[in-house]
């Protein structure tokens, strides 16, 4: 397992501190692009970025990496900040890469003056075609050796908005024969006449990720810029820019760690967006989505997500972790925090024929105290009404019980949790032969659920009194994908979509189900953990089942 894996990031930072680098200061950042919602993979980055700063008594900021105006908007910014807060982290500051556009522009002019950047008049396709490949040097642009004066003039006019989109770019002049493709004269600026959610129409040119990132780190005083492994080939470029600029601070250091990927899950924003657009899920916060808002609506406690990420640690090997492992953290947390309630998800009538009536001829109602949370006695009990007219779970009854079926069957006695022992005596069927009602007798001597003569029953079932039942909508979820590694066979994860990932049931709950707060998770006894929808009263989402499927 990955538990207890050495934290190579802390080791590296510890080494820097011991060596007196950054004067012992540690500063990290979480740099989301506001072009979508955060997902479980981002939770990993957040816990690493914030966790590392915390561990060294340092600072972690959020920096919105807002360098691409067309894909980004303020709604995403807000959702990102909300999700970070939900996870339990508080950024020291919320910053925007767009806040550094002027400084980046000045530094780009500086590189031009040093003969280290040039304006290329070629289009994107031509530039890509000239990039070459491994073992195959690229082709130098015919514009590569423009004079500093001409470059400065063209770049000034790019910035002034004189040229149309895509007509020119600014490139760093590095090495078209480098073994590292990233160093083959990377693009620093593109022309894009588009409105930016922070800077409006101020800028007709926008910096690329590589040009913006390290410099933004330097401006903010980031010491350790933690990112995912796919950026390791970008590190030489990250360093190249920083090495060639007159920096006000010590150079930040980029350190890469493995992405978090989970079985039966995708984390590509583009594909998640398609699930939403194609109506395969109800939205970004659909409980089946691996987005943080989806997990939240599903009832995942933030603490379980954090603990899971901490347990995985940081490594430099990309691996897909079993989603059952994450669910195991969720279950463990919910077991201690969630109250118990009785809910029948597929109701079957159970009629107790010898149930008494009072002097007015109305059926007697008895109230039984049931423990709210056996893991926490402080949470006390609630009273559940019991009558001779009950709902039980369809699958808790079998007219002809198969081997090893110990629940209710004709002639068999079982316990109704906390109430009485009952024995099934007969059934009523509909015209299709389907059992629609079970008849039974109860033993008044077993009040509370135990027989004074000490006789045992093999099962204890949950129940809901019909006249006291509350109607509920319950959503059961299966995996969104049918295979552990979606897209493995065709290359397209959406080919492996599970068409039956949600089942909606009309359920019956005990009266105390109405005191569950929106968003709160309760255990439906014997069925699993269920989260009350934050917006729709009476709707519950199954968070996870009760059985731990994770065998370490």
269 is catalytic: yes
**Among 88, 89, 62, 90, residue whose Cα is nearest residue 76:** 62
**Among 23, 381, 484, 49, residue whose Cα is nearest residue 228:** 49
Q: Is the CB of residue 183 less than 8 Å from the CB of residue 174?
A: yes
Tell which one of 13, 41, 216, 223 touches ligand ATP (CB under 6 A): 41
Is 388 among the residues that bind ligand ATP (CB under 6 A)? no
Choose the contact partner of 347 out of ligand ATP, Mg ion, none; CB within 5 to 8 A by kind.
Answer: none
CA dist., res. 449 & res. 183, Å (int): 75
Contacts with ligand ATP, 65-104, as mask; x by CB under 6 A: x---------------------------------------
CA dist., res. 178 & res. 191, Å (int): 26
Q: Which stretch binds Mg ion (CB under 5 A): 31-39, 181-189, 253-261, 311-319?
A: 31-39
DSSP string, 358-408: -TTSPBP-EEEEEES-TT-GGG-EEEEEE-SEEEEEGGGB-SSPPTT--SB
Tell which one of 122, 228, 249, 483 touches ligand ATP (CB under 6 A): 228
Is 276 among the residues that bind ligand ATP (CB under 6 A)? no
Burial 165-183 (b: 16+ CB within 10 A, else e): eeebbbbbbbebebeeebb
Tell which one of 26, 37, 44, 481 touches ligand ATP (CB under 6 A): 44
| Active-site entry in 146, 184, 190, 269 | 269
Is 45 among the residues that bind ligand ATP (CB under 6 A)? yes
Nearer to ligand ATP, 62 or 343 (CB): 62
Minimal CB distance residue for ligand ATP: 41
Neighbours of 413 (CB within 10 A): 21
407 is catalytic: no
> What's the helix, strand, coil split of the chain in %, to 5?
30, 25, 40
Tell which one of 173, 253, 269, 339 touches ligand ATP (CB under 6 A): 269
**Residues ≥6 apart with Cβ < 8 Å to 95:** 29, 61, 62, 63, 64, 216, 220
Is 42 among the residues that bind ligand ATP (CB under 6 A)? yes
In angstroms, give the least distance from the CB of 8 to ligand ATP. Answer: 15
In angstroms, give the least distance from the CB of 190 to ligand ATP. Answer: 16
Is 33 among the residues that bind Mg ion (CB under 5 A)? yes
Q: Token digits for 254?
A: 């980029």
Tell which one of 7, 26, 28, 32 touches ligand ATP (CB under 6 A): 32
Tell which one of 33, 232, 389, 473 touches ligand ATP (CB under 6 A): 33
Q: Which stretch binds Mg ion (CB under 5 A): 32-40, 43-51, 325-333, 538-546?
A: 32-40
Element (H, E) at 98: none
| Active-site entry in 259, 303, 320, 502 | 259
Burial classification of residue 19, based on how many CB atoms lie within 10 Å of its CB (0-12 exposed, 13-18 middle, 19 or more buried):
exposed
Is 306 among the residues that bind ligand ATP (CB under 6 A)? no
Burial 489-515 (b: 16+ CB within 10 A, else e): eeeebeebbbeebbeebebbbbbbbee
Q: Could you list the active site residues?
A: 33, 259, 269
Interface contacts to ligand ATP, rule CB under 6 A: 31-33, 35, 41-42, 44-45, 65, 227-228, 259-260, 267, 269
């Amino acid at each position: 397992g990955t538990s207890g894996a050495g934290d190579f990031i802390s080791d590296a930072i510890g080494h820097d501190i011991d060596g007196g680098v950054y004067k012992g200061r540690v500063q990290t950042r979480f740099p989301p692009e506001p072009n979508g919602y955060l997902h479980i993979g981002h939770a990993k980055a957040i816990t690493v970025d914030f966790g590392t700063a915390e561990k060294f008594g340092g600072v972690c900021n959020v920096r919105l990496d807002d360098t691409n105006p067309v894909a980004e908007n303020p709604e995403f910014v807000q959702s990102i900040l909300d999700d970070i807060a939900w996870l339990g982290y508080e950024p020291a500051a919320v910053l925007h890469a767009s806040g550094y556009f002027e400084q980046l522009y000045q530094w780009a002019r500086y590189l031009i003056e040093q003969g280290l950047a040039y304006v290329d008049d070629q289009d994107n396709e031509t530039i890509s075609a000239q990039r070459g490949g491994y073992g195959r040097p690229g082709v130098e642009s015919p514009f590569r050796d423009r004079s500093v004066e001409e470059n400065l003039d063209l770049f000034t006019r790019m910035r002034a908005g004189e040229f149309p989109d895509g007509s020119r770019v600014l490139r760093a002049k590095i090495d078209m024969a480098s073994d590292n493709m990233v160093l083959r004269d990377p693009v620093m600026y593109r022309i894009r006449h588009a409105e930016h959610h922070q800077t409006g129409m101020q800028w007709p040119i926008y910096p690329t990720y590589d040009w913006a990132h390290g410099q933004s780190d330097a401006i903010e005083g980031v010491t350790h810029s933690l990112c995912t492994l796919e950026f390791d080939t970008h590190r030489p470029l990250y360093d190249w820019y920083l090495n060639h600029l007159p920096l006000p601070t010590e150079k930040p250091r980029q350190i890469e760690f493995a992405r978090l990927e989970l079985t039966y899950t995708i984390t590509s924003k583009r594909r998640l967006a398609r699930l939403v657009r194609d109506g395969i899920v109800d939205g970004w916060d659909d409980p089946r989505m691996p987005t943080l808002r989806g997990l939240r609506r599903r009832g995942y406690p933030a603490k379980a997500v954090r603990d899971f990420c901490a347990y995985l640690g940081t490594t430099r090997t990309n691996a897909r972790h079993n989603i059952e492992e994450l669910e195991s953290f969720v279950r463990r947390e919910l077991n201690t925090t969630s109250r118990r309630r009785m809910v029948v998800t597929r109701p079957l009538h159970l009629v107790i024929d010898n149930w008494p009536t009072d002097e007015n001829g109305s059926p007697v109602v008895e109230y039984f105290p049931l423990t709210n949370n056996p893991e926490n006695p402080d949470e006390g009990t609630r009273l559940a009404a019991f009558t001779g007219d009950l709902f039980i779970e369809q699958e808790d009854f079998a007219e002809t019980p198969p081997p090893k079926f110990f629940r209710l069957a004709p002639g068999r006695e079982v316990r109704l949790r906390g109430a009485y022992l009952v024995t099934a005596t007969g059934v009523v069927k509909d015209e299709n032969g389907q059992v629609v009602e079970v008849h039974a007798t109860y033993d008044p001597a077993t009040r509370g659920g135990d027989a004074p003569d000490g006789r045992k029953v093999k099962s204890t079932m949950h129940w809901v009194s019909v006249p006291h039942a509350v109607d509920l909508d319950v959503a059961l979820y299966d995996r969104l994908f049918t295979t552990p590694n979606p897209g493995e066979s065709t290359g397209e994860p959406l080919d492996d979509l599970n068409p039956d990932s949600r089942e909606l049931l009309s359920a019956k709950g005990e009266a105390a189900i109405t005191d569950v707060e929106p968003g709160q998770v309760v255990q439906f006894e014997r069925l699993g953990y269920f989260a009350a929808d934050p917006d729709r009263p009476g709707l519950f989402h199954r968070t996870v089942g009760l059985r731990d499927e994770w065998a370490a």
